[in-house]
Structure 1
Amino acid sequence: MYDVAIIGAGSMGMAAGFYLAKENQRVVLIDAFDPPHSEGSHHGETRLIRHAYGEGESYVPMALRAQELWHELDRQVDEKLFDPTGVLNIGDKQSDFVKNVIKSAKTHGLNLETLTADEVNERWEGFQLDNHLMGCFEPDSGVLMSERCIGAYRHLASKAGAQFKFNEQIQNLETRDDEVTITLSNETIQAKKLIVSAGKGTNQVLAHLNEQLPLKPTRKTFSWFEADEELYHRNHFPGWAYDVDGKTFYGFPSIENQVVKLGRHDSGYVLQDPMNLAPFGHYENDLADVTSQVERIFKEPMSHAEGKVCTYTNTPDGDFIIDQLSGHDHVYVACGFSGHGFKFSSVVGEILTQLTLHGRTQFNIEPFRLSRFN
């Protein structure tokens, strides 16, 4: 009998597995693949971590704690997990995005510098922002090496005693008052508590309990462009988030391989089957969206080097789900993180550990309760 079973050992699940194992819990992590892998929301090498949050200042305490935990994780492994490139938030001067960034920085005393478009273009010569835009620069933010982070949590979770069941499909799932029973292809696992953090496969898992959550899997793309190292290397160019005219993009400087990476956060194609993704280039705007962004904000022309597809799995309001499953007091669900969630996976792992062990957490998770959809 395990203390906790975790179905979905990606970003949030692997972090929770480590923190639970560190608390001497008998933990088993189950995944349909072998993490880190390309089927989850953590692939593509890099993710931004921002603190002055344009999506709403309620996220800021979690972002700051997440950063502390990333630094702790970085010190425990030999690989570099966090790169302090700084992050430039770009938007129209009157946009809600920029206003939220500035407000959250003031409320929480964050290190933030506001810059005009001319000041941005002068400091980072690779940019050519239009005059109606401005930048909010966070020097303490940066880039997380997402796949390395999952690998680091996996390594430390294993050292702490966590067990893994990978490349496994859930054949059946049953709950009773004080335990859950998980049937895999060749064995049955019992645990006192269950965490479901299966990303785009969450509803597939919960179907065994006759439960479904309001999640919308969406096909997304991201790309790499060849870049001039003199302008776009991480030593003298930041990560960035761009929210203008209803379009949201994100991007990364050249960190290790002479390319910049960028993608579009909004839009995409809703998936009827989240396991079936059309390859990059299937739709014309797979390349057109990011190419137009490169032409709009960068000084130098760039050649497209590579594109990939991924899946966003989001809630109707774009906020996370972190809660007990209704009618199943020993089952917790954590999902709906795509697009802006990876940076929080360290602290979400800690939150799930606290909820599982104590039934409470010091963070305000009321905005993430399932009851908001009733």
Structure 2
Amino acid sequence: MRRLFSGIVGLTMLLTGCASPSQENSSRLDLIKKRNELICGVSGKIPGFSFLESDGNYQGLDVDICKAFAAAIIGDPERIQYRPLTAAERFTAIKTGEIDLLSRNTTFTLSRDSSGGNGLSFAPVVFHDGQGLMVKKSSGIDSLDDLANKSICVGSGTTTEQNINDAFESASLPYNPIKYQDLNQVVAGYLQGRCSAMTSDRSQLAAARSGFKNPKDHIILGNVLSKEPLAPASDGQDQKLSDAMRWVIFALISAEEQGITQSNIQEKFQLAKNNPQLKQLRRFLGIDGGLGEKINLSNDFVVKVISATGNYGEIYERHLGQTSEVPIPRGLNELYNKGGVHISPPFN
């Protein structure tokens, strides 16, 4: 009996040691703080979003979102371990605890968000995209119909694969999908002539084309095959981490709404501190209200985030603006009062 009891105790201790933060009723948020480092899953291969530069640093919109999370959670935007992941690897990396969160051009869908699907929790959308097709200008291909019976390079295990199949089935057009594991392989297959077109989110097509030897020799067709709201994600069972991520993104958007920037954040903070009547600004910047504590962050988390990355518009302009290497018009990614759809709930 004693031997059986010892075996049970040993097994219990083993299982406890392997338990994830959600299983122990604690949060990944607490683990990040204790470790004093954020492990952020990225692509690392998409210019403008997350790309490993020749100097060994990651750059892009998704990378700056990682920095915003790190600034809010541990107070330092540089204490990040970037983990490059393929589309096929990304969700497993969340579930196994290999990464803390994902900031990797990932489409927010029902199947991915639901407990009956991938069981993720998505933060607010950081880039509204749509799937497109790119072809060589000399091919004579002008629309989806011209791709009937032709080969198309596509990433496997993505919404892109499903969308292209749906589009061709809906149009009753036969085609031949050539599948690859990641975007670099898709691009290589396309440039090597293994397919007549490549498909991905239009932002990724623009990013890929910017690195071609002769970008103007390639065109992105007018066909938009889907809506692709891209958002950061975490384990759906971790409410504390998802709450923090949600309001960090809203802070970036709200700061742009209020004209608060990386260059004037300290000035705005002092203004609010010296003027008790600026109640809304004082709550937003953490002087009053204790809002940060409600999501297990410091009350001045907004100040830390904007000091580190600037507001959403600054991040966008830095990596995707007209003077960037991957210029993409903001379109739907503008604020709600400028013709876009980005809007933040009130910080109350």
TM-score range, shorter chain: under 0.3
Name the larger-Rg structure.
2
TM-score (structure 1 length as normaliser):
0.26
Higher percent of residues as helix: 2
Q: Which has the higher strand share?
A: 1
TM-score between the two structures when normalised by the length of structure 2: 0.27
| RCO comparison, higher one (Cα < 8 Å, 6+) | 1
